[in-house]
């Protein structure tokens, strides 16, 4: 009999369950109870951890539940195999998201700008050190991806190494992205709840997953009274948002927002790119999407006739029409219609219309905060250089760059050059003012850094326990040490202790730089563990004292050892 790849893990879990019933000791720690049913996980002897993957924390948000607040999943009676990641949430393919196989593999290059994933996606994953220790700190991670992509099955987010090294329980959870996760449309608002009417379905998903943690994590050895909410990029923006909503009060006790902010344009000097848009921006997006869908379906011929058609329908009829649409068709319309862009909607009910003002007034969930950025954030945002009046930074497509990185041998003599990747306008890369590095630094100065200063300075005026790091490691083999350096997201492998295979692993990780990056990773994981445990990131691995903001700790390394300093 031939078993398909999807059947094998289920059979393995079933066999483990039978062995447990017969007294098999290896599987005994792997069966855990949740409020919805029993789950059976995996024992990874290589990493020294147990894991449970793909646990539902909400009903699939499909059909009538699309654009609804998440609801508790239906209970299950049989022990559920928890050995595979759940589906990525439906999204348009990007190199930062999954391919057709729900993981990092070569199909990513062939699925760019096409719908991947599934709307049946609200699952979470748990890792813990092997053994029977209890009351461990919990680190709950929220992935990035511009709030239009991302998935917990990304190999960088595997929680085993962090759980073992930091002696914590690690949780990752999927959440809806794009217009399925953030949708501000009047016809979807029913008055049922402020959260649902806000359109912040992605944030509600994360709150639902945090509630699962509160109610169930003790059964996995975690302390529900000591949860650290950590997010990167869009995940950091979402973390800041949850800091300002009463709906998340008491669900987390520390926060680690990395490379994100929560500032409106009105909070910042002129010419600065904000990290938060007003609710009106998303109302315009929602209306324009509705118009384009009606035109595509032949119910209208232009915006005016679409508006006229909408006037003949009730809000419930429009909502039913949208929920009956194929999710992939909606995302294709978003992409072809130039309607991309998502993020928290500051509606004034679930989220304050001005989160920075709310923090300044003390109206937020006050917890210790550890923030961070990379030194070369702008080097991952090459297309944004058009905002500075020049061409995009990369002259090659994402598909070409993906394949180039996938095939790169970091230990072989260099054959690629900067000129193979960068637009000639930014060469030589080291040219003052006009070179790649100078332009990427300028981009960082008008994007990430102002929002960082805005929120951290506002926060520090209300509480003393605010820490900050800058990640400065740039030891990749040429030419990637210049192309990326310490780019946005390049701190993540160090925090999770995962160096491949994944999107940037071939471009970044050589045999020569291995000793230094492993030493730096160990110090960063120890810092996350200390903060999760004590609300203070100071620990012996740093070799120095980490003062609070506005001082910063610099995480760096040479080829053979970590170089950690205070500035």
Residue 19 has pLDDT above 60, yes or no: no
Q: Is it the case that residue 538 has pLDDT exceeding 50?
A: yes
Q: Say whether both 552 and 403 belong to one domain.
A: yes
Max CA distance (Å), the chain: 71
Phi, psi of 116 (to 5 degrees): -135, 160
Total domains in the chain come to: 2
* Residue 362 within a domain: no
Work out the mean pLDDT of the chain and round it to a whole number: 95
Q: Which CATH number do you get for residue 124?
A: 3.40.50.1820
- What beta strand segments (E) does 130-178 contain? 136-142, 169-173
Query: Is residue 190 classed as helix, strand or coil in its secondary structure?
Result: coil
Asked if residue 1 belongs to a domain, the reply is no
pLDDT digits (tens, 9 = 90+) for 39-74: 999 999 999 999 999 999 999 999 999 999 999 999
In a domain, 363, yes or no: no
Q: Which residue spans within 115-264 are E strands per DSSP? A: 115-116, 123-129, 136-142, 169-173, 222-232, 254-258
Tell me whether residue 98 is in a domain: yes
What's the Cα-to-Cα distance from 479 to each of 59, 268, 397, 474, 483, rounded to whole Å? Answer: 46, 35, 17, 11, 6
- Of residues 47, 51, 233, 263, which has the active-site annotation? 233
pLDDT given at position 143: 98
Task: Report yes or no on 323 lying in a domain.
Answer: no
Q: What is the pLDDT of residues 141-170, one digit of tens each?
A: 999 999 999 999 999 999 999 999 999 999
Q: According to the model, what pLDDT value does residue 214 have? A: 98
Are the C-beta atoms of 275 and 451 separated by less than 8 Å? Answer: yes
Domain boundary among 265, 289, 308: 265
Tracing tokens 């002259």 back to the chain, one arrives at 395
Beta bridge partners of 52: 126
Mean pLDDT computed over 516-539: 98
Report if residue 450 sits inside a domain: yes
State the burial class of residue 326 (Cβ atoms within 10 Å of its Cβ: 0-12, 13-18, 19+): exposed
DSSP 20-83: HHTT-TTTGGGEEEETTEEEE-EEETTTTEEEEEEEE-S----GGGTTS---PPPP-SSPEE-B
Q: Are 127 and 98 in contact (CB under 8 A)?
A: no
SS3 content of the chain, % helix, strand, coil (to 5): 40, 15, 45
Q: Which residue has the tokens 């506005």?
A: 550
Could you report the per-residue pLDDT of 211-267, keeping only the tens digit for each?
Answer: 999 999 999 999 999 999 999 999 999 999 999 999 999 999 999 999 999 999 999
Q: What is the pLDDT of residues 441-486, one digit of tens each?
A: 999 999 999 999 999 999 999 999 999 999 999 999 999 999 999 9
The tally of CA atoms less than 13 A away on the side-chain side of residue 259 is 27
Question: Which pLDDT belongs to residue 267?
Answer: 98
CA 238 to each of CA 148, 202, 260, 355: distance values in angstroms, whole numbers, following the listed order? 12, 9, 9, 12
Same domain, 145 and 23: yes
452 conformational bin, left if phi > 0, alpha if psi -120 to 50, beta if neither: alpha
pLDDT exceeding 70 applies to what percent of the chain? 95
Domain-located, residue 141: yes
Has residue 20 got a pLDDT over 90? no
Whether the predicted pLDDT of 8 surpasses 50: no
Among 206, 232, 265, the domain-final residue is 265
Domain containing 379 equals 368-566
Work out the pLDDT band at 332, boundaries 50, 70, 90.
very high
The pLDDT of residue 26 is 46
Please say whether the beta carbons of 129 and 48 come within 8 A. Answer: yes
Whether 313 is covered by a domain: the verdict is no
- Tokens 């599934």 found at: 118
Give tens-digit pLDDT for 371-401: 999 999 999 999 999 999 999 999 999 999 9
Domain final residue, candidates 229, 245, 265: 265
- Please indicate, yes or no, whether residues 385 and 498 belong to a single structural domain of this protein: yes
27 pLDDT band (50/70/90 cuts)? low
Beta strands in 111-263 (DSSP E): 115-116, 123-129, 136-142, 169-173, 222-232, 254-258
pLDDT of residue 507: 98
The torsion of the CA quartet 8, 13, 19, 25, rounded to 10 degrees, works out to 120
- With a cut of 80, say whether residue 18 has pLDDT above it: no
Q: Tell me if residue 14 is catalytic.
A: no
pLDDT of residue 32: 98
In this structure, the answer to whether residues 383 and 241 fall within a common structural domain is no
């Amino acid at each position: 009999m031939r078993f398909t790849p999807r059947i094998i893990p289920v059979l393995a879990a079933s066999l483990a369950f039978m062995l447990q019933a017969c007294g098999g000791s290896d599987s005994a720690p792997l069966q855990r109870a949740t409020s919805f049913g029993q789950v059976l996980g995996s024992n990874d002897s290589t990493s020294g951890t147990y894991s449970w993957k793909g646990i539902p924390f909400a009903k699939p948000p499909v059909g009538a539940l699309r654009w609804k607040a998440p609801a508790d999943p239906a209970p299950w009676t049989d022990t559920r195999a928890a050995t595979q990641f759940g589906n990525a949430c439906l999204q348009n393919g990007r190199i930062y998201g999954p391919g057709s196989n729900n993981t990092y593999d070569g199909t990513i290059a062939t699925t760019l700008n096409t719908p991947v994933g599934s709307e049946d996606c609200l699952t979470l994953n748990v890792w813990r050190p092997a053994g029977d220790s209890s009351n461990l700190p919990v680190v709950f991670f929220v992935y990035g991806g511009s709030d239009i992509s991302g998935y917990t099955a990304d190999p960088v987010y595997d929680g085993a190494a962090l759980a073992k090294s930091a002696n914590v329980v690690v949780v990752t959870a999927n959440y809806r992205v794009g217009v399925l996760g953030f949708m501000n449309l009047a016809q979807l608002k029913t008055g049922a709840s402020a959260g649902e009417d806000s359109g912040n379905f992605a944030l509600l998903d994360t709150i639902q997953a945090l509630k699962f943690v509160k109610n169930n994590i003790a059964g996995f050895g975690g302390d529900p009274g000591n949860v650290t909410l950590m997010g990167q990029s869009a995940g950091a923006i979402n973390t800041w948002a949850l800091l300002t909503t009463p709906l998340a009060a008491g669900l987390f006790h520390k926060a680690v927002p990395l490379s994100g902010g929560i500032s409106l344009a009105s909070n910042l000097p002129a010419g600065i790119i904000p990290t938060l848009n007003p609710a009106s921006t998303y109302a315009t997006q929602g209306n324009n999407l509705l118009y384009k869908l009606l035109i595509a379906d032949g119910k209208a011929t232009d915006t005016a006739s679409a508006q006229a058609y909408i006037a003949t329908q009730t809000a419930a009829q429009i909502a039913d029409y949208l929920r009956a649409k194929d999710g992939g068709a909606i995302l294709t319309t978003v992409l072809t219609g130039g309607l991309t862009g998502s993020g928290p909607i500051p509606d004034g009910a679930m989220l304050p219309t001005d989160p920075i003002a709310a923090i300044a007034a003390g109206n937020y969930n006050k917890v210790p905060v550890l923030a961070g950025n990379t030194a070369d954030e702008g080097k991952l945002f090459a297309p944004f250089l058009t905002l500075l009046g020049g061409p995009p930074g990369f002259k090659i497509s994402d598909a070409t760059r993906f394949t180039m990185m996938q095939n790169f041998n970091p230990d072989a003599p260099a054959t690629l050059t900067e000129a193979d990747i960068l637009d000639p306008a930014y060469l030589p890369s080291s040219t003052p003012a006009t070179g790649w590095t100078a332009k990427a630094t300028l981009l960082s100065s008008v994007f990430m850094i102002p929002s960082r200063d805005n929120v951290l300075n506002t926060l520090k005026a209300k509480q003393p326990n605010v820490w900050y790091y800058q990640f400065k490691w740039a030891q990749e083999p040429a030419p990637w040490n210049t192309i990326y350096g310490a780019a946005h997201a390049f701190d993540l492998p160090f925090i999770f202790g995962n160096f491949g295979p994944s999107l940037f692993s071939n471009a970044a990780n050589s045999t020569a730089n291995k000793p230094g990056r492993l030493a730096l990773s160990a110090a960063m994981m120890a810092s996350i563990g200390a903060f999760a445990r004590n609300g203070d990131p100071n620990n012996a691995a740093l070799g120095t004292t980490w003062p609070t903001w506005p001082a910063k700790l610099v995480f760096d390394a040479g080829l053979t050892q970590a170089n950690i300093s205070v500035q």
